[in-house]
């Protein structure tokens, strides 16, 4: 209750912002930071009438924080200096660490919206004068701080106070949780909600609204959707793949020798391919031992199914081996004699059929003769992949993605696309061609990416599932949170490399769409796809810092792609949040450049979804469209429960209403292998034997499978007009012009029943049978899946929504 009262008081405070009306016209403003929290504290303000007695604005509220370097060890602000220039603009500079070599620099007109930061060497004149006097202030609570004092108009201080109060108000609203509902809605009676369709005002909406975000995070590709069963098949893992250089993570990772008769060493002389420079050299002194691969938490195979085994070897003479798949108790469940090697690298292939299903087996290669043999690129791949594709996707996982009915697939990320440092930018050309010629590399999420699931497999998968590819390519800069290489900041490709970098992007279009007489189209054809692939979107950049380094490269790329391929829709970027400098300046650039689409990201507390259903209502319909490229509703402990599911369902009803400006959306991240998680809130969890679909997955599926291309607006009114009640009821009506089906989505986030009086006159002539799918449960319930029923729907019906529920009713007015 105390919390609810506090929230109400804050709401009032937000209206009465000007707390210092009766003070002089000019005041002293003190800007400072603290060394708290390893200098992650950002810039604070305090004000004073007399430069003696000081009042902090919002205690430790930070008005701008450092964006330099990686999360954790970076993002530090030391010794900030805030100056006002003659033109009235403010400039703030600070040291990003103790060595003082790099100075962060940002500007602002109002001390509230700050420009994206740039970073210059100490002494660069862009930093302005940092040799100004710092004053020591002692606050009434005894806190002593050094900083800069400037005289300002009272309005400046008032605006800062107002901004602080607004932020408190926002925070209070977005941290509302359903566990407080018994108090919040004490005594609340069932609600009646009248929803009257207004088909005459229907509008066209994007038919591609729901897609998926694929990133190799949490072992989503290698060890996940990519069906290879052996880990480190090419002996290319290196300690550098893992932050902190884990020495056990090396070329022998996942491999071991069982028994005494073999030694294994790693060699690089005359490799299979320069991009695959390591291989294992086996020195076999006696038979009876084995080279073993542990797979991904074990090798998972099914009884009676066929598995393609292949490997490369070279040796003085052809050497016989026994290939075995063994269960965890040592029982052999598949075996085959193979002859490997000979002079020069030779590939051996065979098919094995296990007689038992296991999820935690291993692969053994047992030499049947002594000698030295070099081995590389050892692979075990199910034939039973999704659509039976060679080098394809794990079938059960792929089917779960298909069930979402995604209209597009984003790839390869996320941060993976722009990488951790310049050398880690994802390059599509490294991911095509023969598997052993591809260039695997460090995965930004601290493991190894083989590129086995490369651009060819990605485009083929999109085609197989009827989805449009949406490749995202770095804007010539790595992730602004980079920790690997250089001084750990965004940086940018040297200008002399930009022409080739841009050419690579243009070559991607030719590779996807060019006919087989073109240089790049011929490679696609050679890989097995003479027909062009569909490609109409290219994303440039991923939630980047909109710095000068970024902007110049971003513009060069976008302009070059548009000049050569005017029909390609460029998807730009608007930073990692739904507000603040990268969002504002990302949008400003998009407007200046007249970009087709812009990619917004926001992972938000579940309460944000409730209070921001009008987020897109005021967006300009005639400008750049939106790709809501990464989003999720996070509850405490990042649980996938009804609270996260329902707040998302509610918010998506508003996104659907705005799908004339929001063209694309994808929840993130998508996949997570149990026990290998770098991100704690994902749509689907899996291991070798099972798949867990989250409540959020079911919401995505209900929206994806019940999308439309026309939105039918409604007049909606509840018999309870309290704001927090009204905002917890959502609805959306769409029509799919392809099937003629009309789909109604109803969301109830209240602890009481809501009777929806639906008036569908003008849409529905007579009573028809319809299917309804409902998810209902308590806010903390996990594992809730929709329940399907058939029911009668007439033009005027009372539909009773259970407390905390989401219902989708689908009917076809033409079918009786």
* Region binding ligand AHR by CB under 6 A among candidate stretches 33-41, 407-415, 711-719, 807-815: 407-415
Interface mask toward ligand AHR for 535-564; x: CB under 6 A? -------xx---------------------
Nearest Cα neighbor of 659 from 607, 733, 548 is: 733
For the record, the structure tokens of 456 come out as 């060819």
Least Å from the CB of residue 416 to ligand AHR? 6
120 sits near ligand AHR (criterion: CB under 6 A): no
Under rule CB under 6 A, how many of the chain's residues touch ligand AHR?
A: 12
For residue 248, give every residue at least 6 positions away whose Cβ sits within 8 Å of its Cβ, in sequence order, or none.
none
Nearer to ligand AHR by C-beta: 301 or 538? 538
For the record, the structure tokens of 277 come out as 């420079």
Kindly report the CA angle at 238 between 321 and 347, in degrees rounded to 5?
Answer: 30
Alpha-helix residue ranges (DSSP H) falling in 259-386: none
Nearer to ligand AHR by C-beta: 139 or 679? 679
Nearer to ligand AHR by C-beta: 31 or 672? 672
Least Å from the CB of residue 675 to ligand AHR? 18
Least Å from the CB of residue 678 to ligand AHR? 8
Nearer to ligand AHR by C-beta: 120 or 679? 679
571 sits near ligand AHR (criterion: CB under 6 A): no
* Binds ligand AHR (CB under 6 A): choice among 669, 777, 779, 803: 669
* Binds ligand AHR (CB under 6 A): choice among 576, 708, 730, 777: 576
Least Å from the CB of residue 647 to ligand AHR? 18
Q: How distant, in Å, are the alpha carbons of 63, 75, 137, 150, 305 from that of 42?
A: 7, 9, 17, 18, 58
* Region binding ligand AHR by CB under 6 A among candidate stretches 256-264, 366-374, 410-418, 523-531: 410-418
Least Å from the CB of residue 601 to ligand AHR? 6
Nearer to ligand AHR by C-beta: 289 or 449? 449
* Region binding ligand AHR by CB under 6 A among candidate stretches 148-156, 179-187, 373-381, 409-417: 409-417
Q: Which residue is nearest to ligand AHR (CB)?
A: 414
Nearest Cα neighbor of 34 from 6, 13, 65, 11 is: 65
630 sits near ligand AHR (criterion: CB under 6 A): yes
The C-alpha torsion from 673 through 675 and 679 to 685, rounded to 10°, is 40
Least Å from the CB of residue 414 to ligand AHR? 3
Told to judge if 543 belongs to the known catalytic residues of this protein, a careful annotator would answer yes
Least Å from the CB of residue 501 to ligand AHR? 20
Tokens 């051996």 correspond to: 348
415 sits near ligand AHR (criterion: CB under 6 A): yes
Q: Compute the residue count for the chain.
A: 816
What burial letters (b/e) apply to 475-514, b meaning 16+ CB within 10 Å? bbbbbbbbbbeeebbbbbbeeeebeebbeebbbbbbbbbb
* Region binding ligand AHR by CB under 6 A among candidate stretches 102-110, 413-421, 458-466, 514-522: 413-421
Judged by DSSP in three states, 570 sits in strand
Q: Which entry of 543, 600, 630, 773 is annotated as an active-site residue?
A: 543
For residue 491, give every residue at least 6 positions away whose Cβ sits within 8 Å of its Cβ, in sequence order, or none.
421, 422, 477, 478, 482, 549
Q: Which helix (H) or strand (E) holds 520?
A: helix 519-526
Least Å from the CB of residue 695 to ligand AHR? 19
Nearer to ligand AHR by C-beta: 111 or 425? 425
Would you list the DSSP string of 83-100? EE-TTS-EEEEEESSTT-
Least Å from the CB of residue 570 to ligand AHR? 18
Least Å from the CB of residue 77 to ligand AHR? 21
CA separation for the pair 373, 365 (Å, rounded): 12
Nearer to ligand AHR by C-beta: 414 or 514? 414
* Binds ligand AHR (CB under 6 A): choice among 298, 354, 392, 414: 414
Nearer to ligand AHR by C-beta: 217 or 401? 217
* Region binding ligand AHR by CB under 6 A among candidate stretches 351-359, 408-416, 521-529, 608-616: 408-416
CB 675 within 8 A of CB 166: no
Distance spanning both ends of the chain, measured CA to CA: 52
How many other C-beta atoms lie within 10 A of the C-beta of residue 340? 23
Least Å from the CB of residue 316 to ligand AHR? 48
* Binds ligand AHR (CB under 6 A): choice among 120, 577, 619, 679: 679
Nearer to ligand AHR by C-beta: 382 or 669? 669
Nearer to ligand AHR by C-beta: 677 or 724? 677
Nearer to ligand AHR by C-beta: 157 or 415? 415
Nearer to ligand AHR by C-beta: 217 or 661? 217
Q: How distant, in Å, are the alpha carbons of 109, 391, 457, 521 from that of 529?
A: 54, 14, 11, 9
What pairs with residue 35 in β-bridges? none
User: 713 φ, ψ to 5°?
Assistant: -70, 165
217 sits near ligand AHR (criterion: CB under 6 A): yes
Crossing angle between the packed helical segments 695-705 and 642-657, to the nearest 10 degrees: 20
* Binds ligand AHR (CB under 6 A): choice among 406, 413, 419, 708: 413
Kindly report the CA angle at 708 between 570 and 532, in degrees rounded to 5?
Answer: 45
Number of H helices, E strands in the chain: 15, 44
Nearest Cα neighbor of 441 from 503, 397, 495, 484 is: 484
392 sits near ligand AHR (criterion: CB under 6 A): no
* Region binding ligand AHR by CB under 6 A among candidate stretches 219-227, 338-346, 412-420, 556-564: 412-420
211 sits near ligand AHR (criterion: CB under 6 A): no
582 sits near ligand AHR (criterion: CB under 6 A): no
118 sits near ligand AHR (criterion: CB under 6 A): no
Residue 294 DSSP symbol: -
CB 812 within 8 A of CB 790: no
* Binds ligand AHR (CB under 6 A): choice among 148, 465, 668, 729: 668
For the record, the structure tokens of 454 come out as 């490369």
Nearest Cα neighbor of 169 from 10, 347, 396, 382 is: 10
Nearest Cα neighbor of 459 from 427, 411, 388, 526 is: 411
Least Å from the CB of residue 668 to ligand AHR? 4
Interface mask toward ligand AHR for 586-625; x: CB under 6 A? ----------------------------------------
Binding residues for ligand AHR, per CB under 6 A? 215, 217, 413-415, 542-543, 576, 630, 668-669, 679
Catalytic residue positions, numbered = 543
């Amino acid at each position: 209750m105390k919390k609810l009262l506090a929230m109400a008081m804050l709401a009032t405070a937000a209206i009465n912002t000007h707390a210092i009306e009766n003070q002089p016209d000019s005041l002293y403003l003190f800007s400072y930071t603290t060394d708290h929290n390893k200098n992650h504290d950002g810039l604070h303000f305090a004000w004073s009438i007399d430069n003696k007695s000081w009042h902090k604005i919002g205690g430790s509220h930070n008005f701008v924080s450092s964006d330099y370097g990686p999360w954790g060890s970076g993002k530090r602000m030391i010794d900030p200096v805030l100056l006002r220039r003659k033109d009235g603009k403010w400039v703030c500079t600070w040291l990003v660490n103790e060595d003082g070599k790099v100075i962060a620099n940002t500007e602002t007109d109002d001390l509230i919206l700050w420009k994206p930061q740039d970073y210059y060497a100490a002494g660069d004149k862009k930093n302005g004068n940092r040799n100004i006097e710092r004053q020591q202030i002692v606050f009434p609570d005894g806190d002593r701080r050094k900083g800069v004092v400037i005289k300002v108009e009272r309005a400046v201080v008032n605006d800062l106070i107002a901004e602080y109060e607004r932020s408190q108000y926002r925070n209070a609203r977005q941290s509302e949780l359903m566990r407080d509902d018994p108090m919040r809605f004490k005594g609340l009676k069932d609600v009646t909600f009248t929803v009257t369709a207004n088909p005459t005002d229907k509008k066209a909406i994007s038919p591609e609204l729901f897609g998926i975000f694929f990133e190799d995070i949490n072992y989503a590709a290698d060890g996940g959707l990519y069906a290879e069963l052996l880990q480190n098949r090419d002996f290319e893992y290196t300690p550098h793949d893992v932050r902190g250089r884990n020495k056990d993570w090396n070329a022998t990772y996942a491999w071991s020798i069982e028994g005494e008769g073999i030694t294994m060493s790693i060699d690089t002389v005359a490799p299979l391919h320069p991009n695959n420079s390591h291989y294992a050299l086996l020195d076999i002194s006696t038979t009876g031992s084995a080279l073993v691969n542990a797979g991904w938490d074990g090798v998972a195979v099914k009884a009676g199914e066929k598995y393609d085994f292949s490997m490369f070897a070279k040796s003085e003479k052809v050497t016989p081996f026994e290939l075995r798949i063994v269960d965890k108790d040592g029982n052999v469940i598949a075996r085959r004699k193979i002859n490997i090697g000979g002079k020069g690298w030779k590939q051996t292939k065979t098919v094995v059929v296990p007689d038992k299903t296991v999820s935690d087996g291993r692969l053994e290669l047992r030499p049947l003769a002594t000698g030295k043999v070099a081995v590389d690129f050892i692979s075990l791949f199910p034939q039973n992949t999704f659509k039976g594709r060679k080098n394809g996707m794990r079938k059960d996982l792929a089917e779960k993605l298909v069930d979402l009915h995604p209209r597009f697939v984003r790839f390869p990320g996320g941060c993976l696309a722009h990488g951790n440092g310049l050398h880690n930018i994802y390059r599509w050309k490294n991911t095509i061609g023969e598997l052993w010629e591809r260039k695997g590399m460090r995965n930004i999420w601290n493991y190894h990416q083989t590129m086995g699931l490369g651009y060819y497999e990605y485009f083929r998968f999109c085609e197989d599932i009827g989805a449009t590819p949406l490749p995202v390519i770095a804007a010539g800069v790595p992730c602004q949170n980079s920790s690997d290489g250089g001084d750990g900041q965004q940086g940018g490709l040297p200008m002399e490399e930009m022409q080739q970098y841009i050419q690579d992007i243009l070559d991607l279009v030719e590779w996807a769409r060019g006919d087989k007489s073109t240089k790049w189209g011929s490679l696609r054809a050679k890989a097995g796809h003479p027909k062009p692939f569909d490609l109409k979107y290219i994303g440039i950049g991923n939630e980047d810092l909109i710095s000068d380094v970024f902007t110049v490269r971003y513009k060069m790329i976008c302009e070059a792609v548009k000049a050569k391929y005017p029909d390609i829709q460029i998807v730009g970027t608007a930073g990692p949040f739904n507000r603040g400098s990268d969002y504002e300046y990302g949008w400003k650039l998009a407007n200046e450049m007249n970009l087709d689409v812009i990619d917004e990201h926001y992972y938000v507390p579940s309460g944000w979804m409730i209070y921001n259903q009008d987020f897109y209502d005021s967006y300009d319909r005639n400008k750049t469209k939106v790709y809501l490229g990464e989003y999720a509703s996070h509850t405490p402990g990042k649980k996938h429960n009804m609270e996260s599911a329902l707040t998302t369902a509610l918010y998506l009803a508003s996104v659907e209403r705005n799908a004339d400006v929001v063209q694309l959306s994808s929840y993130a991240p998508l996949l997570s292998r149990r026990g290998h998680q770098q991100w704690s809130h994902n749509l689907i969890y899996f291991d070798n034997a099972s798949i867990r679909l989250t409540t959020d997955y079911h919401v995505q599926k209900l929206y994806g499978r019940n999308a439309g291309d026309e939105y039918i607006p409604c007049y909606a009114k509840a018999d309870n007009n309290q704001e927090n009640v009204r905002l917890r009821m959502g609805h959306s009506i769409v029509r799919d012009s392809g099937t003629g089906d009309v789909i109604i989505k109803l969301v109830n986030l209240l602890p009481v029943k809501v009777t929806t009086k639906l008036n569908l006159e003008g849409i529905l002539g007579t009573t028809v049978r319809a299917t309804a799918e409902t998810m209902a449960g308590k806010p903390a319930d996990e594992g809730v899946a929709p329940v399907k029923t058939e029911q009668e729907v007439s033009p005027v019906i009372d539909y009773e929504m259970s407390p905390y529920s989401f219902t989708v009713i689908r009917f076809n007015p033409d079918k009786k």
